[in-house]
Amino acid sequence: MSRPAVLVARAVFPEVLAQLAQHFDVESNQADTIFSKPELIQRLQGKAGAFTTGSERIDADVLAACPQLRVVANMAVGYNNFDIPACTAAGVLATNTPDVLTETTADFGFALMMATARRMAESEHFLRRGEWTRWSYDMFAGSDVHGSTLGILGMGRIGQAIARRGALGFGMKVFYHNRSRLQTEQEAPLGARYVDKATLLSEADHLVLVLPYSASAHHAIGAAELAQMKPTATLTNIARGGIVDDAALAVALRERRIAAAGLDVFEGEPAVHPDLLTVPNVVLTPHIASSTLATRRAMADLAAQNLIAALTGGVPPTPINGELLKRA
Ligand code: 8YV
């Protein structure tokens, strides 16, 4: 019997390719070129599965042009690169990689928030420019993290992991806003308080965004929301580009309407809004919140397990549109 063919759309660990090669005829992209939509469609011809990352968009056009496709396995917890209703309508199982990146991503979110509050990037640039010639009493004075109010927009797994760090490690008061309120037993150990978005914006000393991207989350933080924040507050975005209106944020930073921002994700990344590159009070990182070797390997392994299970009659561990499995 011939083996299913799969496409691995971006470069990945050779060990993961080797796992896949035990089950499939694998076309891989170790050159790591970014496929245009026509090229992606062309490479998916005859493939039953695809191992994707956030850079491949699987939409109705791709699905219509690739009728043999049965599963798309994203090496990411976020899946806004997939049109899930279109996948489900086409009978294509979609999977993601939750849980394995939660703690690593929370570590990074907390670190970025701290670097932002304590002006680490701005002061490092100053030092590298050779401008540090003497001590002064208010040099790069930032704002305290310990004992301050942590605001979390999007209280899923990663949001809760950041809240734990803040409440238990840094004595922070935790306010959050989310589509749904947590159970009392989840809130209680963190002293987390569910508030409306306006209260979150006006009360947070450090606001961290951890919500998934959706059309309704587009520009959830724009000029109007930034205007509701304290002028001393910081904003950290480790969620997705497009949740923040980056142009409006650059204006707010330049005019010191908020103190500082830490950004790991950008609208239209890897392009970065040019005004963000020139304002001093922002820490910028290239979408690396989940990037430790151990976690990236765990993500790749989980995506591979999903692909293997889905195409060899097993049970994929982390399906997104799992209703397709029940139907089968
Ligand atoms: C990925 C992420 O590195 O998991 C996610 O949703 O944003 C990152 O961990 C990125 O999406 C590449 O697939």
User: Is-catalytic flag, 269?
Assistant: yes
Indicate the Cα dihedral angle 75, 78, 79, 85, nearest 10°.
140
pLDDT, one tens digit per residue, over 70-118 is 999 999 999 999 999 999 999 999 999 999 999 999 999 999 999 999 9
CATH topology of domain 102-284: Rossmann fold (3.40.50)
Residue 1 is predicted with a pLDDT of 64
To test the pocket of ligand 1, the residue of 10, 29, 75, 264 to mutate (highest count of ligand atoms within 8 Å of its CB) is: 75
Domain 5-99+293-327: assigned CATH number: 3.40.50.720
Q: Is 65 left (phi over 0), alpha (psi -120 to 50) or beta?
A: alpha
Distance 271 CA to ligand 1 centre (A): 16
pLDDT, one tens digit per residue, over 147-171 is 999 999 999 999 999 999 999 999 9
pLDDT, one tens digit per residue, over 130-143 is 999 999 999 999 99
| CB-side neighbour CA atoms (13 Å) of 107 | 9
- Compute the distance between CA of residue 271 and CA of residue 84 in angstroms, rounded to an integer: 26
User: Is-catalytic flag, 240?
Assistant: yes
Residues of the chain with CATH 3.40.50.720: 5-99+293-327, 102-284
pLDDT, one tens digit per residue, over 193-207 is 999 999 999 999 999
To test the pocket of ligand 1, the residue of 77, 158, 263 to mutate (highest count of ligand atoms within 8 Å of its CB) is: 77
Among the atoms of ligand 1, which is closest to the Cα of residue 54? 13
Helices (H), 118-193: 120-128, 157-164, 170, 184-187
Among 240, 267, 273, 296, the one annotated catalytic: 240
Distance 233 CA to ligand 1 centre (A): 27
pLDDT, one tens digit per residue, over 226-284 is 999 999 999 999 999 999 999 999 999 999 999 999 999 999 999 999 999 999 999 99
Do 209 and 153 form a contact (C-beta atoms < 8 A)?
Answer: yes
- Average pLDDT, rounded, for the chain: 97
| CB-side neighbour CA atoms (13 Å) of 49 | 30
pLDDT band at 326 (very low <50, low <70, confident <90, very high): confident
